[in-house]
Structure 1
Amino acid sequence: MWKENLYQPFEILVTERTVFLSGVHQHSFFELGYVLSGTGCLTAFGEDVSYRPGTLFLIHPETTHRYNVETVSRFVFLRFTRQAIADYLGSAAEPFLTMPGDSRPVSVSGEDARRIRALFLLIWREKENPGMYSGELLLQWSVSALLIVARNLAASVLPAAGTPPSERIAWLLPYIQRHIGQPKRLTTEALCETFHFSRHYLGRYFRRHFQENLARYIARCRMRAVENELANTASSIKEIAWKYGFSDASHLTKAFRHHAGKTPLQFRKEYLSRLQDRQADGQGHDSQYGGKENRA
């Protein structure tokens, strides 16, 4: 597996593919990928997720992934660093574009879906046939696309104004999962302010609704996110500790040992060993029955 780096804060890549030769790899940057045409799937976090025209994937740094093309596919990739978000989009969009994600496509619907497609078509055509002020236009269109994505990500984790309390509580779990690396957003005080609950009501209602203590649920979510990082990225323990709000690697190690009964490094070593055993078993099976083409 190899890792791709970005040598500038922001980059646009347009490509038409019948196959991706890169195979399984990681990035040191964020990548928003839009499918203009074609079909296939993205493999990440141990799942294969199909894509078609209009599908959007937001890949976070250090995420192990690969694209598998089924029919000729056109992609527009917006590649950017955390600093680029601050420079071009501002602090309001940063939490939503950088919050921990998974392999599911970004959901953009209605008029925003049409706006996104129009913007990515403009980007494709300008990259194919650049003219005067191409750089400026491409940057403006890209920033607009990213802001629309941030707006839809925000809408997916926050209830609309006036939502009844009995319905508002259902938004709490995805919000916690999205912000699991931002502990200041997950304090009781911050959650009460965000969801307009009283402190007493939130704790009592959460326990009644989900049969679990709120603080314990947040801690379990954080440990699951750490497990996912250990299994699917090459990030150091220090990097993972920083990403998920631990003061340092030793505090993460202590918390993880309490959670899993082993250190993060032991967990990673055991996971990789099991993965290699499964891959070896699969190769033996393929050899016995003639194998199967694996398209990158």
Structure 2
Amino acid sequence: MTNTNLYLPFEVDFKELEQFPKTIRKNNFFELIYVVDGTGIQVINDNKFQYQKGNLFLITPQDVHSFEITTPTKFFFLRFNEYYIKTNSQNGQSETILRMEYILQNASHRPGCILKNKIDKPLISLLIESIIQELDNQQIYHQKIIEQIVNTIITIVARNIALKLPKNIKESTGEMVLEILHYIQENIYNPKQLKSNAISEHFNISLHYLGKYFKKQTGETLQEYIANYKLRLIEARLLNSDMRINEIADELNFSDESHLNKVFRKHKGMNPSEFRKKSN
């Protein structure tokens, strides 16, 4: 297995391949891979997905991935790191960039196209085509224009991941529920801020309306979503870090390690240590 590093805030690459490098790769950065043309199989963390033209994949840090190419494939690669996200948010280019760190870090680590919002599919295709043209033409300010397009692509990716975080969220979901999801993700380490009355006060809506609205939009109650989101964070740490169980329990504000074990076993049918061993 090869570990690869990124030495620039972001980089783009365009390749036509008949065979993907045989070495299974693990990155220390985010990588968006768009299929301009071609077919084959995406392999990520031992899961497989048949890809085709127009698919967009997100590879998060520490995901193990490769491709099995069936017909010659034109890949567009966009690689960026956490530093790039944070730098852009500090420069005030977009508040959305600020929330991407939470959303991107908690992608599912599963195979498949991440474009769930139908209107975004032709938009992504057009944006990537524009980057390729800018690279070919090399006209004045082309690098700055590419950077702006990259920001837009990452924002669209974050939207598509946010849309599918709760199981029943719809493409037509309103801005308010996405803001509530962002608030929960941002405050997941602060239990007081996750109480229903704190959320209703923050968004200036009644407790009764908040509960009904969130359940209607997502198919889950607030507390169910918070519990499931915590479970995803636990899974991510078990799979992608060397953190001890008691450290994870402390970080996510469980009363102790046994409390975390009890909650995890209830939902997963095994304790965290068993889950970690099974996944390695």
What TM-score, normalized to structure 1? 0.66
> Does the CA-based 8 Å contact 1:19-1:69 persist in structure 2?
yes
Partner of 2:43: 43
* Pair 1:160–1:130, CA change in 2 (3 A): same
* Pair 1:46–1:179, CA change in 2 (3 A): farther
> Does the CA-based 8 Å contact 1:176-1:186 persist in structure 2?
no
Q: Could you report, residue by residue, the CA deviation over 1:238-257 in whole angstroms, capped at 9, with x for unpaired residues? A: 79968xx9538997845433
Q: CA deviation at 1:115?
A: 2.6
SS in 2 for 1:58: strand
Q: How many equivalent pairs are there?
A: 258
* CA RMSD of superposed structures (Å): 4.3
Partner of 1:91: 95
Structure number with greater CO (CA < 8 Å, separation at least 6) is 1
Partner of 1:31: 31
* Counterpart-to-counterpart distance in 1, 2:204 and 2:151: 31
Structure 2: 5+ residue stretches without partners:
none
Q: CA deviation at 1:6?
A: 1.2
> Does the CA-based 8 Å contact 2:230-2:252 persist in structure 1?
no
> Does the CA-based 8 Å contact 2:19-2:68 persist in structure 1?
yes
Structure 1: 5+ residue stretches without partners:
162-167, 273-296
Identity %: 28
Does 2:166 align with 1:160?
A: no
Q: CA deviation at 1:216?
A: 5.9
Q: Could you report, residue by residue, the CA deviation over 1:24-79 in whole angstroms, capped at 9, with x for unpaired residues? A: 33221112221111112322354322222211112221222222222111121211
* Counterpart-to-counterpart distance in 1, 2:246 and 2:75: 30
Q: Could you report, residue by residue, the CA deviation over 1:102-161 in whole angstroms, capped at 9, with x for unpaired residues? A: 234222655543232122112223334534433223222222322333344455568326
* Counterpart-to-counterpart distance in 2, 1:247 and 1:56: 33
* Counterpart-to-counterpart distance in 2, 1:65 and 1:178: 31
Q: CA deviation at 1:180?
A: 5.5
What one-letter code is carried by the residue in structure 2 that aligns with 1:101? A
Query: In the TM superposition, what are the counterparts of 1:6-155 in structure 2 within 5 Å?
Result: 6-88=6-88, 89-96=93-100, 98-99=102-103, 100-102=106-108, 103=110, 104-107=112-115, 109=117, 111-128=119-136, 130-154=138-162
> Does the CA-based 8 Å contact 2:96-2:155 persist in structure 1?
no
What one-letter code is carried by the residue in structure 2 that aligns with 1:19? Q
What one-letter code is carried by the residue in structure 2 that aligns with 1:92? T
* Pair 1:216–1:43, CA change in 2 (3 A): same
Q: Could you report, residue by residue, the CA deviation over 1:237-289 in whole angstroms, capped at 9, with x for unpaired residues? A: 179968xx9538997845433335687455423443xxxxxxxxxxxxxxxxx
